[in-house]
Amino acid sequence: MTPTQTRRTQRSGRPSREESEQLAAQILDAACRLFIEQGFGATTMEQIVAACGIGRDTLYRRFATKEELFAAVSRRSLERTLQWFETTMQQAPDAPLDRVRHLARWFLEANLEPDLLALKREAFIEAMRARPIFGEDPFTPRLVEAISASHACGALQAPDPAFTAQQLIAAVVLGPSNEALMGQMPLQEAQAREQWFEKAWALFLSGARCGA
């Protein structure tokens, strides 16, 4: 019996809110690890039960299906990524073009972060099975805003900021991200990512910067 189970047997009645939240986090942690290591298809609810050291009914009361559990893992991952992005936004320079560059650099890091990449790969597979995991993109609109501000002050030629954002993300992210989704390991070293970003950023500016 695990220490968590022992503590629960020493108390009668329903678990406290704190205990319930801790248990939910424990389940999501275990499920996330197994989904990343084995993939969605190879992971079973029984394996998650065993990894958590909980009863089968305890898991199914909270997550009726594996799809529901994966969606919860994905939502938590998205929430944490949003927190990371908000921190990046707060640290972004005030100068409009520098702000665009700062956010573009984040897009490269986020799309190559190993755990996010693994969950993204599994989410794509599930979406292809007509079970979409994520809703609207919460990140790109902020980049569009930064590009729009750069256009307004004359730093970029971007009469269509949304299109320009798509091209910037493609220049910075698409190649390494696609390689990573196919199981390769591009740009593992920070120096390699920085060199790639500098080349992609220069290519973007050659077409979008005013006076280029």
Query: Could you tell me if 55 and 83 lie in one domain?
Result: no
Report yes or no on 52 lying in a domain. yes
- We report the CATH number of the domain holding residue 119 as 1.10.357
The number of distinct structural domains making up the chain is 2
Same domain for 153 and 98: yes
Same domain flag for 170 and 94:
yes
Residue-range definition of the domain harbouring residue 27: 3-64
Q: Is the pLDDT of residue 136 over 80?
A: no
Give a yes or no: residue 152 inside a domain.
yes
pLDDT of residue 209: 74
The model's pLDDT over 148-204, given as tens digits with 9 standing for 90+, comes to 999 999 999 999 999 999 999 999 999 998 888 777 878 889 999 999 999 999 999
pLDDT for 183: 77
- Whether residue 35 is found in the same domain as residue 123: no
Question: pTM for the whole thing?
Answer: 0.81
Q: How many C-beta neighbours within 10 Å does residue 139 have? A: 19
Given the structure tokens 């220069």, which residue do they identify? 202
Output the pLDDT for position 12: 44
Pair 170, 107 in one domain = yes
Count of C-beta atoms within a 10 Å radius of residue 123: 22
Per the domain annotation, does 113 fall within a domain?
Answer: yes
Residues 131 and 29 in one domain: no
Q: Average of pLDDT values for 104-128? A: 86
Q: Are residues 117 and 35 in the same domain?
A: no
Q: Among 13, 29, 64, identify where a domain stops.
A: 64
Same domain, 56 and 84: no
CA distance 197 to 212: 19
Q: Round to whole Å and give the CA distance between 166 and 122.
A: 23
Same domain, 184 and 96: yes
**Do 116 and 155 reside in the same domain of the chain?**
yes
pLDDT at 180: 84
pLDDT of residue 188: 86
Res 6 pLDDT > 50: no
- Which residues in 24-42 are b (16+ Cβ under 10 Å) and which e? eebbbebbbebbbeeebee
Classify residue 71: in a domain, yes or no: no
For residue 72, being part of any structural domain is answered with no
What would the mean pLDDT of 1-22 be, rounded to a whole number?
62
Same domain, 99 and 60: no
- The predicted structure's pLDDT at residue 134: 59
Beta bridge partners of 87: none
Neighbour count for residue 12 (Cβ, 10 Å): 6
Q: Per-residue pLDDT tens for 89-110? A: 999 999 999 999 999 999 999 9
Q: What is the CATH number of the domain that holds 21?
A: 1.10.10.60
Looking at residue 210, its pLDDT comes to 67
| Alpha helices by DSSP H, 11-139 | 17-38, 45-52, 56-62, 66-91, 96-112, 114-128
Q: Which residue has the higher pLDDT, 124 or 75?
A: 75
Is residue 39 predicted with pLDDT exceeding 60? yes
95 and 153 both lie in a single domain: yes
Beta bridge partners of residue 115, listed in sequence order: none
Task: Return the SS3 of 54.
Answer: coil
Supply 171's token pair: 């220049």
Which of 41-45, 116-120, 133-137 has the largest mean confidence? Answer: 41-45
